[in-house]
Amino acid sequence: MDPVTLDARNLLCPMPVIRMQDTVRKLQPGDVIKVVCTDPGVLHDIPAWCRVHGHEVCDIDEQEYEITITVRVGPGSQTGA
């Protein structure tokens, strides 16, 4: 399955994490989501959220003003995490 891409550009904290959480709830464990952001706060917020909810940050790519964080969905996705 191709990664799901979530466009969270031009959203400020906490909206990228909230949008990611809403999307992850619809995915299955093992699925991959790429979150494209412009708020540098996501460099801390998304990895912290993933640690709490059991998801794996696979990659963080920073290109000028854009940050793409790739996450593998963990087993807690169907329990609202």
Domain carrying residue 60: 4-79
Helix ranges (DSSP H) in 1-81? 15-24, 42-53
Q: 48-51: list long-range contacts, CB under 8 Å, 24+ apart.
A: 49/17, 49/20, 49/21, 50/74
* Residue 11 confidence (pLDDT): 97
Instruction: Please pick, among 13, 37, 50, 58, the residue that the annotation labels catalytic.
Output: 13
pLDDT on residue 78: 58
The pLDDT of 64-70, averaged and rounded, is: 96
pLDDT for 77 equals 63
The CATH number for 42's domain is 3.30.110.40
Which class for 4: exposed (0-12), middle (13-18), buried (19 or more C-beta within 10 A)? middle
Q: Please indicate whether residue 37 is annotated as part of the active site.
A: no
Query: pLDDT > 90: what percent of the chain?
Result: 88
pLDDT bin (cut points 50, 70, 90) of residue 62 is very high
pLDDT digits (tens, 9 = 90+) for 19-31: 999 999 999 999 9
